[in-house]
A and B are shown apart, each in its own frame.
Chain A
Amino acid sequence: MMIDFFIAYRPLIDLFLLHTGYALGQYLVLRSGTFSIGSAGLTAIGAYTAASLTVKLGLPVPLSILVATVASVLISMLLAWPLTRLRGVYQAIATLAFVQVVLSLNIYAEGITGGAMGLSGIPKAVGTWTLLISVAVAIYLVASLNNSRTGRAFDAIRQDEAVAVSLGVAISRYQLLAFALSGALAGYFGALEAFHVYSLEPNQFGFPFLVAVLSYVVLGGRHSVWGPVVGTAVLVALPELSRPLADYRMLVYGLLLILVINFMPRGIVDTWIDFRKRRLRVQAAQVREKEAA
């Protein structure tokens, strides 16, 4: 019974795991108070570096994944240097430009990337288990980061930069760290995707991809680590629930985005956590009143 379910929904589970990885990468930069939406470009760099190293140069798969991840981290850190000096909207536009540059270079550099036709004949080396373990490790790492001094510094920066600075938080250094980790996640999961799907196509990491990943985080929540996980689960599973939902998938995404940002701007998970906390506090107060009486 359990096995049947697993086999029937395996492609969906794989999709969910890969996209959870991307969502976590996007989540990290947003959490550190930068409005970068460049992770689509970093994912493309990870995927293409890994695939071309193995297909064109015959490098072993794990080594390609490692090199691809390192490349994404370096490029993400290069991006961070100018970006952390700009303000919100400008960061979003600059990273959008970065995504477009990566996309057009991928189409142009035919010798390395296969151009508009894409790369094919990539060995399939990544299965569900690899993805599952990777996502589990990523969630664990991000969660422990959140509970550390760094996580609290991120919160301070996001809520009020002036206060954060006056408390001695070195904003650029923490945001550089967020960019590096986000680049690592984006590049690593991009590389996993390359070895999971046999072929890559440049447009798969364009504007629609960027919008999807951003939607996961907005819907799920931008504070708790479970936000991006839940957001991805909901948006990946939604089209499977019924045929009309699949036909109008983008319309449903759009409606959800508008509704969530207007009526539940903190996302599903963070709103729920708040709600729980408030109820616990009310209960505790009631207990205290009873004891006093």
Chain B
Amino acid sequence: MIIQQLLNGLIVGGVYALFAIGFTLVFGIHQILNLAHGAVFMTGAFVALYSVLAGLPLWLGFVLGVIGGGILSVLIEFVAFRRLRKQGEEEFGAIISAIGVNLILITVAQKISGTQIMRFPFETFPVVVYEFAGLRVSALQLVMAVLAALLVFSITWYLSKTAAGRQVRAVAGNERAAVLSGVNPNFVFFQTFFMSGALAAAAGVMVGLAFNNIHFMMGEPYLLRGFVVIILGGLGSISGALVAGLLLGMIQTLSVAYLPSGLTDTIIFSLLFLILLVRPHGLLGRPEAGLMRGR
């Protein structure tokens, strides 16, 4: 029973990780806390859903959703952050600007969907359940786990092994020095925001399929949990977000299963507060990341 719960938690956690890696990537590289990330997640689910409803196959809907999320995220950077970046107003300004984008996207989605909760048509993804050593796993869960692993792996590979990825990391280390050695910062911004948005949208489509409950506010709980994941893992750390995402997924399913219902959020967010008090750089973040006041 407990192993089944842990397995379910691991799969939920994979989605959290997928969502949070994009979130932490943008923060780690550009010091921008993109609060519109949850709205990109929601947009991904919307694009996939409407593609399927329009008669396209699911895999195409997924691809369109992911690309749509990436493009949307790049647009957000261009509209909401670029000017602030030039003024050196990233911290406070970007949060406000992102809240504005979030409000706009949510309102547009609300108007499009008529405030309805929408579902994928029955059997969009065939309902198949495998039993293995007493554990039950659905085909959808398997596909989600494999896809999540694949996406995380390719992002890490891209950032650590390719020339373009090295440029991204150079900007994260020291933007000025990177620009002086010939890196085009706008292209780096384009890449990180596209990857971040694509990951969020992928998570959105998966959540839309798994819970079949698509509505304009679906991004908000994930955004709030995203905070927990990126702080627990260490702001800016991709491997940290992966570990923390899986951990949070398991903590959450265990808490739902074994503790009084309704306390889950209290536990999760108290945990977030506690981490900020005792270990603000999280599990795998760098302690010198400038999180305390220099005093």
Contacts and interface: CB of A to CB of B under 8 A. Distances in A.
Interface of A: 35, 82, 84-90, 92-94, 96-98, 100-101, 103-105, 107-108, 161-162, 165, 171, 207, 211, 214-215, 218, 248, 250-251, 253-258, 261-262, 265
A35 B100 CA distance: 17
Interface string B242-286: 000000000000000000101111100110110011001000000
B276 A254 contact: no
B108 interface: yes
A262 B97 contact: yes
24 contacts: A84-B293, A86-B276, A86-B292, A90-B231, A90-B291, A98-B269, A100-B224, A100-B265, A101-B269, A104-B264, A104-B269, A108-B263, A161-B294, A207-B224, A248-B107, A251-B104, A253-B100, A256-B100, A257-B97, A258-B80, A258-B97, A261-B84, A261-B93, A262-B84
A108 B104 contact: no
B175 interface: no
A257 B99 contact: yes
Nearest to A83: B276
Interface in B127-167: none
A254 B101 CA distance: 6
A108 B262 contact: yes
Given A100-B224, A207-B224, 5 more contacts: A97-B272, A98-B273, A108-B266, A171-B293, A254-B107
B291 A86 contact: yes
A23 to B, nearest CB: 15
B58 interface: no
B227 interface: yes
Given A161-B295, A165-B295, A255-B104, A214 B262 contact: no
Contacts of A100: 224, 265, 269
A125 B25 CA distance: 51
A255 B96 CA distance: 11
A255 B61 CA distance: 30
B102 A97 contact: no
A155 to B, nearest CB: 16
A106 to B, nearest CB: 10
B103 A211 contact: yes
Contacts of B102: 254
Given A254-B107, A255-B104, A261-B96, A90 B280 contact: yes
Interface string B8-35: 0000000000000000000100000100
A86 B100 contact: no
Given A101-B273, A162-B294, A251-B107, A88 B91 contact: yes
B293 A161 contact: yes
Interface size class of B (residues with CB under 8 A): 35 or more
Interface in B73-121: 79-80, 83-84, 87, 89, 91-93, 95-97, 99-104, 106-108, 111
A97 B292 CA distance: 18
Given A258-B80, A262-B84, A104 B91 contact: no
B126 interface: no
Contact of B96 (A85, A97, A105, A214): A214
Contacts of A82: 276-277
B14 to A, nearest CB: 23
Given A261-B84, A262-B97, A253 B103 contact: yes
A176 to B, nearest CB: 14
B217 to A, nearest CB: 10
A10 to B, nearest CB: 28
Nearest to A258: B100
B290 interface: yes
Contacts of B290: 87
A88 B101 contact: no
A35 B99 CA distance: 15
A251 B103 contact: yes
Nearest to A79: B273
B101 A250 contact: no
With a 10 A CB-CB cut-off, give which of A86, A98, A162, A261 has the most chain B CB atoms: A261
Contact of A104 (B27, B265, B276, B277): B265
A98 B271 CA distance: 10
B220 to A, nearest CB: 7
Given A214-B99, A258-B80, A94 B273 contact: yes
B292 A85 contact: yes
A162 B295 CA distance: 8
A67 to B, nearest CB: 24
B37 to A, nearest CB: 13
Most buried by A among B27, B101, B104, B228: B104
B266 A105 contact: yes
A93 B35 CA distance: 11
Contact of A250 (B27, B103, B227, B260): B103
